[in-house]
Amino acid sequence: MVSLTTLYEITFGGAILAFIAQHTIKQLRTFIVIVTSALGVYIVWRLPSQATDISFRLGDFQILWGVNEYSQLFALLIAVLGFFTLIYSIDFMKERERLGYFYMNFLIVIGGMYGIVYSQDLISLFFFWEIMTWSSFMLVIYCCDDAQSIGLKYFVFSAIGAYAMLTAIVLIWANLETTSLSVLFENFTNLSSGLQITVIVLFIVGFGVKSAMMPFHVWAPDAYAISPTPFTALFSGALSKMGIWGLGIVLLKLAAQSGFYVWVQDIVAWIGAITALLATFYAIVQTDAKKLLAYSSIGQLGYIIVGLAIGTPLSIMSALFLAMLHGIFKAMLFMSAGAVFYRTGSTDMNEVTGLIRKMPWTFLTALFGIITVAGVPPLGGFAAKWMLYEATIQSGHYFLVIVLFAASTAAFLYLYRFIFSLFLGQEEKEYADIKEAPLTMTVPMVIMALFTLVVGVFPGIFINPIGNAMGYFGNYTFNWDVSSLLNEWGNHVDMMTVVMTIGAIFIIAAIFITIKNYRTTRYVTTKDIHTSGEIPTENENLTYAVDFYKPFERAIAPVLKRSIDKTYNLIAENLESAFDFLRYVYTGNGQTYALYVVLFLAVLMVFAELIFGIQL
């Protein structure tokens, strides 16, 4: 009963049933969706004890599905996040149309992700990878007018990534005649070194796109922002982790075997760090909460990439820890932003303000979320980041750690902006009647928030399975706890003191900024346009959220100006209009077409020898 096949059957079957139900018995739809995702959690949970590998031939290929601890780690994240986001979506999506379409694609995304992590061969990996891609595309374009170009951008980048991956698969097939991952790992060094690096680069591009690695990140902010929020939570929380999952395999299973490993490590680590830094800058200047969180996601994924790239047991541990944690807290943050949107109809931080008393549970979730992100004790984020810094230093990447630290510090700015502008600040009359989000939304949020707290206190909840998962990459033996970390570092500092100190600094800083802001902000309703004879431009909007961040915006303006996004757009547009030269070929004149025919014939005849390479 509990097997991979059942898991796929239930998830994809549930997707189709949900679609059918929508068009027949609407009431059943939600039930099907929830049951499907719950069963998913159950099966994934039970799988390790029950499952045997599944292997069958499909065409020329031996398909292999199997459960290992590494995949299990990600599968659980997918299952749980899927379940929570789906519950969250019940009320959130209630008023929308085309829910059959929505839920079908939602469940297909989940199924696709299961498929990816349980794939033991390249064909099923790619197969499920693409399923995940198109179904998530369908959800990105679910909402509104702008979704069109955003979705397209998302898909085109995904396709570039997927096709890079496919090229690698095809090259492997052509040279090793295999699609099995394990065979690939064993025989990877049989490939010529040129091929090795090609395959590695192609895979890194492939997975990098999904994990929003620079410079392939441009699809992410818009796509995250425009998707329906329950999906955004899953998107950023779990789907982007598929890239991480793959990068882990590429870096640790393939690249590690090649002679280029050091180079690959450094380059990828630096790309990760730059991603983290730049994304943080971008996040700071966002005024839309969802966009802010989107950039934040990109930044966090940058950290994770760094961790994977460094490649020491500790860094891998930290990366996977961060990955799991990010899955949860980013989902929480998006869900809380979604809850705000659900009640106020906006996630614009310049508009929405002062919801702390109206939506306390949502606020709590957001608070827990940002604390985790910031890596401040006592929540789980602290341990993860700490490990990362340590591993980076241990491996001698000192400059890298500075960049990471800078990014991490800057992250505090946008996180603060998020929570302050939405929940703190003045209460608006406009939002006087706002109520807390419905239970189906708050319950999953709060459960997850509490979970981050639990993880902070008992990091072993994550550390142990991660440790097991790392068995996939080799025999890493270590028993980790907070104090042992510090011991390894060589400094016998009392851990609890550090934790308390950092926590205290954080809280004091927050209070200080809050007070400062209250003081410099005039006590008027934020959107009461008092002009004093002058017409305020948007920049002089009186919300402190804008004022406060002006200096930062100015500081990072040069970075923002050189938008990679714009470059891509320019290339795409020019390319597309270049295709118009074909108008001169397809002129619409039948005679001209006939002339082409004769031309073709004449050319073939004259150059027959040349073309067919045969001595006439």
- 144 near other proteins, judged by CB under 8 A: yes
- 1 near other proteins, judged by CB under 8 A: no
- 535 near other proteins, judged by CB under 8 A: no
- 571 near other proteins, judged by CB under 8 A: no
Query: 215 preceded by cis ω (within 30°)?
Result: yes
| Per-residue CA distances from 104 to 6, 122, 587 (Å) | 18, 25, 44
CB of 341 to other proteins, least distance (A): 19
Residues 93-112, interacting with other proteins (CB under 8 A): 97-98, 101
Distance, in Å, from the CA atom of 14 to the CA atom of 7, rounded to the nearest integer, reads: 10
Distance, in Å, from the CA atom of 171 to the CA atom of 191, rounded to the nearest integer, reads: 10
Residue nearer to other proteins on the CB measure, 458 or 593: 593
Residue nearer to other proteins on the CB measure, 165 or 308: 165
Residue nearer to other proteins on the CB measure, 262 or 594: 594
Residue 598 burial (10 A CB sphere; 0-12, 13-18, 19+): exposed
Buried b vs exposed e over 138-148: b needs ≥16 C-beta within 10 Å?
A: bbbbbbeeebe
Distance, in Å, from the CA atom of 496 to the CA atom of 127, rounded to the nearest integer, reads: 48
DSSP sequence for 478-514? ----HHHHHHHHT----HHHHHHHHHHHHHHHHHHHH
Residue nearer to other proteins on the CB measure, 42 or 163: 163
Residues 355-384, interacting with other proteins (CB under 8 A): none
Residue nearer to other proteins on the CB measure, 58 or 560: 58
Q: Which of 54, 143, 498, 502 binds other proteins (CB under 8 A)?
A: 143
- 574 near other proteins, judged by CB under 8 A: no
Please identify, among the stretches 349-357, 409-417, 534-542, 600-608, the one whose residues bind other proteins according to the rule CB under 8 A: 600-608
- 20 near other proteins, judged by CB under 8 A: no
Residues 27-66, interacting with other proteins (CB under 8 A): 57-60
- 219 near other proteins, judged by CB under 8 A: no
Residue nearer to other proteins on the CB measure, 173 or 473: 173
- 435 near other proteins, judged by CB under 8 A: no
Q: Which of 148, 193, 501, 567 binds other proteins (CB under 8 A)?
A: 148
Buried b vs exposed e over 271-286: b needs ≥16 C-beta within 10 Å?
A: bbbbbbbbbbbbbbbb
- 616 near other proteins, judged by CB under 8 A: yes
- 137 near other proteins, judged by CB under 8 A: yes
Residue 403 in tokens: 């960049």
Residue 483 in tokens: 């104090």
- 604 near other proteins, judged by CB under 8 A: yes
Taking Cα atoms as reference points, which of 293, 201, 549, 266 lies closest to residue 403? 266
DSSP sequence for 150-171? HHHHHHHHHHHHHHHHHHHHHH
Distance, in Å, from the CA atom of 369 to the CA atom of 449, rounded to the nearest integer, reads: 7
Residue 517 in tokens: 């802001």
- 173 near other proteins, judged by CB under 8 A: yes
Q: Which of 65, 128, 281, 480 binds other proteins (CB under 8 A)?
A: 128
CB of 567 to other proteins, least distance (A): 17
Q: Which of 31, 458, 512, 593 binds other proteins (CB under 8 A)?
A: 593
Give the count of beta carbons closer than 10 Å to the beta carbon of residue 237. 29
Q: Which of 83, 155, 295, 342 binds other proteins (CB under 8 A)?
A: 155
Residue 607 in tokens: 């150059």
- 551 near other proteins, judged by CB under 8 A: no
CB of 21 to other proteins, least distance (A): 14
User: Rounded to 5 degrees, what are φ and ψ at 161?
Assistant: -65, -50
Residue 21 in tokens: 């139900």
